[in-house]
Amino acid sequence: MGLAAQPRALNPMRDETFHPVAWVAWLAAAALPPLTTRNPLYLALLLMVAGINFMALGQDNATARGWATLVRFGALLWLFTIPFTALTNHHGDIVLFALPESWPIIGGPITLESLLFGLTGGLSIIGLLLIFAVFNLAVDQARLLRMAPGFVYQAGVVTAIAVAFVPQMVGSWQDIREAQQVRGHRFRGLRDLLPLIMPMLVTALERAMQLAESMEARGYGGTIAVVTPQRRTLIQGILLGGLALLVVGLGAIGFWPQERALGITLSVSGVILLGSSFWLQGQQVQRTTYRRWIWGRRDRIVLAVGVTAAVIWLAAWLFRGEWLFYYPYPPYSPWPTFQPVLGLAILLLAVPAFQLLLRHQEYHSVDPS
C-alpha cells in the first residue's frame, strides 16, 4: 500500500507574484527623496527602509544575491567618493586638518563640509541603486514588459533583457567561482581568471541562444500589422505637429510670462497630439492576454502607501521647498534639519516589507502535518 501524495505547500515569498502597477507607484515614491534632496537624514532613513524591503523580498529569491553584490559594489564606490571629494574640494569653515599646500590638488584644508557633501552625493546614488534592486525583486521582468505601451514594445524588450543581464551575470560569476573553489582553484592573479571567465562566457552564450529560441517560438516581431503609406504619413504628421505645439508652448511659458495661458494651452494640445500618435502606433502591435492581473490586498496596500508617500513628498517639494534644501557649504549651515512629516512619508514605504515578513512568519508557523 503506497503512501498518499501530500500536497506541496507553496512558498509565499517565491510563488506569489505582485501587481506591477502597485510597485511602480512604490518605485516612484521611493525615488523622489534621492532625486529632490541631499539631506543626509532623509537619505539615511530611505536607505534603511529600502534595505528592509530588500531583505524581506530577498528571502528565497535566487536573484537577490546578484543584486546584493551589485549594491555592495556601489557602496564600495561610494566609500571612495567621500575622501575624493574631501581631498579635492577645500571649501568650508570647519577645518578638520590640513595637508601641505605644496601638494598638488589635495593640498589644503580638509573640511567637514566637503565630507558631508561627498557623503550626501553617495547616499543619493546608493539609495537609487538599492531602490531599483528592490523593485526588480518585487516585479518580474516579463510582467513589467507587459506594461510597456505597444509603440515601444521593442525598446521594452531590450530594456527588460538589459535589466536582468547584470544580476544574472553576477549570479553566474558567483556560482562558477564556488564550483571552481570546490575543485581546488584558488585566485592568485590575473592568469587565474581564465578558468572563471571561460565558463561564464559559455553560460552567457547558452542563455542568449535560449532567449532567442524562446522569442522566436513565441512569434516575437511577427505580430505587427501592415501599415499603409497614408496611415504612416498621418501618424508622422500628428507626431510632428504635437512636438511643434509642445516646443512652442513651453517656449511661450518660459520667455513670455504674460502669455502663460496660451503657452499652457499649446503645451496641453501638443501632449494630446503626441498621445494620439503613440496610440495609433500602438494599434499596429497585436497582443494576446493569457490571464488578467489580480489585485490582492497586499497590492492595494502597496499602491496606497506609494501614492500617499508621493503626494506628501511632492506637496513639500512644491510648497515647502526649504524643507528639502540642504547645502553644507557657507553661508548655509552644515547641520541638516528634519521634518517629521517627511520622515513619516519615507517610513510608510516600509509597510510592504512588514507585510511580507508577517506572511513569511505565518507560513513557517503552520504545522506541516
What confidence score (pLDDT) does residue 122 get? 84
Q: Which range among 17-21, 28-32, 124-128 has the greatest average pLDDT?
A: 28-32
Q: What is the mean pLDDT of residues 59-78?
A: 73
Q: Which of 57-71, 83-97, 316-330 has the highest mean pLDDT?
A: 316-330
- 228 burial via Cβ count (<10 Å: 0-12, 13-18, 19+): exposed
d(CA 83, CA 118): 8
pLDDT at 10: 39
Query: Is the link from the previous residue into 331 a cis peptide, with omega within 30 of 0?
Result: yes
Query: What digits encode the pLDDT tens for the residues 245-270?
Result: 888 888 888 788 777 788 888 888 98
* pLDDT, tens digit, 9 for 90 and up, residues 82-141: 888 888 888 878 888 888 877 887 888 888 888 888 888 888 888 888 898 888 888 876
pLDDT digit string (tens) for 189-235? 666 677 777 777 777 777 767 766 776 676 665 555 666 788 788 88
Q: What is the pLDDT of residue 218?
A: 66
* Model confidence at 22: pLDDT above 80: yes
Q: Which three cell numbers stand for residue 81?
A: 567618493
pLDDT, tens digit, 9 for 90 and up, residues 340-359:
999 999 999 999 888 887 77
* Predicted local distance difference test score (pLDDT) of residue 29: 93
Measured between alpha carbons, how far is 245 from 227 in angstroms, rounded to an integer?
A: 26
Q: What is the pTM of this model?
A: 0.69
* Helix or strand holding residue 97 (H, E): strand 95-99
pLDDT reading at 313 higher than 60: yes
Give me the mean pLDDT over the 312-337 stretch. Answer: 87
Distance (Å) of CA 105 to CA 77, 85, 252? 20, 11, 45
If DSSP states are collapsed to H, E and C, what string results for 23-38? HHHHHHHHHHHHHHCC
